[in-house]
Amino acid sequence: MSAGTGQPNVNGQALGRLELPLPPLAEQKRIVAKVDELMALCDRLEAQQQQRETRHTALAHASLTRFADAPTPANLELLFHKAYAIEPGELRKSILTLAVQGKLVSQDANDEAVENMLLRILEEQRLLKRTMASSIRILVAEGRLEYETPESWRWLTLEDISIFGPTNGISPKSVEYETPVRSLTLSATTSGRFKAEHCKYIPMELSTDSDLWLKDGDVLVQRGNTIDYVGVAAVYHGAPHQFVYPDLMMKIRVSSEVDVDFIHLAMSSEPSRSFLRARASGTSGSMPKINQVTLKSLPLPIPPLAEQKRIVAKVEQLMGLVDRLEAQLAESRATATALLEAVVAELSAAA
């Protein structure tokens, strides 16, 4: 019954026509007393919940800090303690941060020196005519991201360990019928994990040697998206000639002398994500973008290859725990919601 669009209002006549349910006076008083009782109970419940969440937040923060300072098995168990819940997203960020700082696994003096691996990468790049350099280009302190790494590690740019790209994909108009070529959509890599179900058919023919086809181990980076997702990377593990990639993604391939899954971890860590976001153009709009030059300049910490593999294995183990924790949290929240609905239904029935 309100009038007006800019500031809707009701007049006295409309208010006078409002119909109200009117029980007997004695029942009105009983209803008011019951509502006051239940609202007071809700206030106490809300206060208790806020206190509990405050304690849980403090415990979760302390556990993350303790694990970051000393990533031992005992401190790891604290991250998954049943007495409180750490948000899975925060856990994943912490795990990646510790991984790229060299704190998840121990260093082994018997591992091959990083310089030997880098010399082989340099030779591979020279054969592919990607560089004419005759020496390894190690980043000095000013060119690195702002965290410390073990002495045996070295800092390089993504370009220094790459053997192909980055190159942009293509985005022709899709069709509703099946064709020989499937193109990914942005949703295929937005989560940081490759999801093959997010694709569409495009009406074009491609030779088997086209660089648009994905190969096992290709790294896909979101060239354009919202500021939260621009620069997100995912690795394609699968058969060749299955998918091509869209214009809003870039493809880059790293040398087989490094572990592509470790490189993906380093690219996905928060410092790397911040580096790319800070250099995105058009950040005030809905689709900021990064270019190939920015992606190639991304600084990355490079440990010995054997240590890279140990780190990847440890991260996969911990991420599996986080996935299970997330499923348990979802189940407990669903149970809590069902319990609340049952209580409301019971109160309604009692009334």
Residues 216 and 191: beta-carbon distance below 8 Å: no
What confidence tens digit (pLDDT) does each residue in 93-123 have? 888 888 999 988 889 999 999 999 999 999 9
Confidence band for 197, pLDDT divided at 50, 70 and 90: very high
Confidence band for 69, pLDDT divided at 50, 70 and 90: low
Return the minimum-mean-pLDDT range out of 20-29, 53-62, 183-192, 253-262.
53-62
Q: What is the pLDDT of residue 323?
A: 79
Pairwise pLDDT comparison (68 vs 181), residue with the higher score: 181
Task: Please state, in angstroms and rounded to a whole number, the distance separating the CA atoms of residues 299 and 261.
Answer: 16
Q: What is the pLDDT of residue 79?
A: 60
Report if pTM > 0.85. Answer: no
What confidence tens digit (pLDDT) does each residue in 6-61 have? 788 888 888 888 899 999 999 999 999 999 888 888 888 888 877 776 666 666 66
Produce one character per residue of 40-77: b if its CB has 16 or more CB atoms within 10 Å, e if not.
eeeeeeeeeeeeeeeeeeebbeebbebbeeebeeebbe
Confidence band for 86, pLDDT divided at 50, 70 and 90: low
Q: What is the pLDDT of residue 73?
A: 59
Q: Taking 80 as the threshold, does the pLDDT of residue 248 lie above it?
A: yes
Q: What is the pLDDT of residue 233?
A: 96
Percent of residues, the chain, with pLDDT higher than 90: 54
What confidence tens digit (pLDDT) does each residue in 217-240 have? 999 999 989 888 999 999 999 999
Confidence band for 91, pLDDT divided at 50, 70 and 90: confident
CA distances from 321 to 7, 155, 163, 180, 330 (A): 52, 30, 34, 39, 14
Confidence band for 83, pLDDT divided at 50, 70 and 90: low
